[in-house]
Amino acid sequence: MDIAHAARTPAEIYDEMFVPALFRQWGPILSEVARIKRGDRVLDVACGTGALALAALERVGPEGAVIGLDPNPDMLSVARRNSARIDWQEGRAESLPFPDQHFDAVVSQFGFMFFEDRARALREMMRVLRPGGRLAVAVCDALEHSPGYAAFAALLQRLFGERVAEAFRAPFVLGDPEGLRAICREAGMQHAEILQRTGTVRFSSIGALVSTERACVWTLGGVLDDAQFAQLNQEAERALKPFIVENGAIGFDMPALIITAGRR
CATH classification at residue 164? 3.40.50.150
Sequence-distant (6+) residues with CB within 8 A of 158 are: none
**Segment 56-70 mean pLDDT:** 98
**Segment 119-139 mean pLDDT:** 98
Buried b (16+ CB within 10 A) or exposed e, 110-126: bbbbbbeebbbbbbbbb
pLDDT at 6 (0 to 100): 53
Long-range residue pairs from 55-64, CB within 8 A, at least 24 positions apart, any chain: 55/27, 55/28, 55/30, 55/31, 56/27, 56/31, 56/105, 56/107, 57/83, 57/85, 57/86, 58/31, 59/31, 60/36, 63/38, 63/39, 64/38, 64/39, 64/40
DSSP 89: E
pTM (2 d.p.):
0.94
Residue 25 CB coordination number (10 Å): 18
Note down the domain range covering 51.
Answer: 3-262
Q: Are strands 87-90 and 65-70 parallel, antiparallel or unpaired?
A: parallel
Quickly state the pLDDT bin for 3 (edges 50, 70, 90): very low
Quickly state the pLDDT bin for 2 (edges 50, 70, 90): very low
Looking at the structure of the chain, the number of domains it has is: 1
What residues does 69 pair with on adjacent strands?
45, 89
Task: Please answer whether residues 245 and 251 qualify as being in contact, where contact means their C-beta atoms are separated by less than 8 angstroms.
Answer: yes
Task: Please answer whether residues 261 and 29 qualify as being in contact, where contact means their C-beta atoms are separated by less than 8 angstroms.
Answer: no
**Segment 68-84 mean pLDDT:** 97
User: CA 221 to CA 211: how far, in whole Å?
Assistant: 10
Q: Percentage of the chain with pLDDT > 90?
A: 89
**Smallest Cα–Cα separation from 107: which of 53, 60, 150?**
53
